[in-house]
Structure 1
Amino acid sequence: MQDQQSLLAFSDSLTSPLGPLNWSTSSDCCSSWEGIGCDDNGRITRLWIPGRELTGYLSSSLGNLTSLSQLNISYNFLTGVLPAGVFSSLSSLDIVDISSNRLRGNLSASLPLGSNLTSFNASNNELTGHFPSSICKTSPLLKTLDFSRNFFNGDIPVGLGRCSNLEVFRADCNYLSGELPGDIYSLRSLVVLSLAANNMNGTIGEGTLSLTNLRIIELYGNYFSGKIPQDIAKLSKLEQLLLHLNNFSGSIPASLLNCTKLIKLTLRGNNLQGNISTLDFSRLVQLQILDIGHNSFTGNLPQSLFSCKSLTAIGVASNRLSGEISPNARS
């Protein structure tokens, strides 16, 4: 059976302190091999061996598993370069998780991926090169795309807009630069947008307000500038807005305090200003963390802030605030 032989070739390059995989020619791969699932025709459809402490490299023999729909080799110690075009013959892939290994090289050389793909996670590796936005051309059904904690560089080119079903997009902790690509604002299903800890610039713009399903925006640790959109309350599902350590200016839009599902709001280390005394925090009943430190805010801490009973942390250091902390803060 070709699938079985391909898996054995794959396992030849792997070792583990937990002991070898129980893959052997003396047993049936579909009924007893660890992490393997098959269809009714005996073709391997699932290779699921996360957290197995495997060391070694990825064999190109994986490309022979042409019925594979689920691949998860995350949280191991796999090294080396992804084999060129390893995914190109795997047209049935639905889920690919190669995260938390030590894989390196240019990811684009291992593409394309099939049109059935809905989730691709390559985070926490050592992958390099330009951001592979072309992935959405061949895999337009993607819902989750995670390239965080790698070494991708350069601008994010136009192309993400082809992934019209995308819900989670993470590319934080890389070396990406430039502005947000214009077609990102067409991703109306987007729930998570994380591009933190890169070298990106530009503004978040009014186009962001069309992404009304956003719950998490993580753009901290970049060079974004401009003002926070005045009508940000249109993002009524927003739970986390993390914009700290950028160059944002202007004031906190009053409409932001109508985002009643906010749990975490961090604006520390920007160029924000304005009198915060009149801001009404009373509707933010779920707010747990507020950090507006290291800006140029003036005025007193608003009395309404102390009605946020879920608050566990407040940061206001290095501003120009005055007055006293209300006795209500203790209750």
Structure 2
Amino acid sequence: MNEGILARNFSPFIGGRLPQKVRSAARLPEQTGGADGGIRRFYRQICGKLRPIDRECSLPPFDGKQQITVPSIRLMGIILETGQQIVLTWMYRTTGNGFCIEICQFKDILNKNGKGALKMSTNLYSKENMQNLSQLKDLAPEPFKAFHEFNAAVFKDGALSKKEKEIIAVAVTHVTLCPYCIDAHTKEAKKAGASLEELAEAVFVAVAVEAGGTVTHSTHVHNAKDKDASDVLYARSNLRQLGQLGKLAPDGFKGYQVFSAAATKSGKLSAKFKEIIAVAVANAIQCPYCIDVHTKNAERQGATGEELAEAIMVTAAVRAGASYAHMANMIQSYQG
């Protein structure tokens, strides 16, 4: 079931001019009258006499002569087909000042045969889902507030600038695979002055570190085949076994080495900053070999402890943010 709160969308138009598409759907005149009477007449004309109980109704069937939408449906990108109807549900209560619409929700679209056309959106990553996150301040107010304070503290200027932190965040979001986060941090990075070339180079660093994580973990395959291998799974000395992969898959291994060098050399971003990004990404993918290698590389390039620490905190915030952002889907599923 797709739902969008209509009352919120209608509120700017109560007592004044309703959008043309809304008026067409409801067969309403251009002016709706007073604030209370206008919205009451709007729903009365759609659904008949108001009663102080939960109700369900339908807008008139679409006759094919015009596109009929209402604000929340337009947000979901839905266009009605001929003969379909919009089904609404709502609750309201009587107050001292008369009727007060509490909630009006879009429930479904009915086909000509009366069967529901929409049960749940097939698009799990609609930007409109992010509106659900506003409910968290009421669902879990204390952690909601603390999370936003944590995020704000991480992204303020420090040893690394806000621009640099947002560039790191864009790289890390491509590891957490959170489309909401990619969208949000790309826009923040642009706002902070980052160019698209800089963002592309940053993400290529993440791509290289991801490849490196797999390559370095190949040493475990070598150890697994050695019955006399140490029980210590993550020994630094494991990296000495990387040559085995180069022998067994020489072309691919050489290609990886050339790519990794190209991704981390100085370009629009400095080699030092790219190694800082690599440390952040290495912590995101939790690869101890990558953390070790890129921390040493970053120090050789002149990165300070403060810069690396702030980069790691960006990773922490972005990984937390991915889980936070996906609560939008949880809310959508629960209320859908």
* TM-score with structure 1 setting the length: 0.26
* TM-score with structure 2 setting the length: 0.25
Larger % of strand: which? 1
Larger % of helix: which? 2
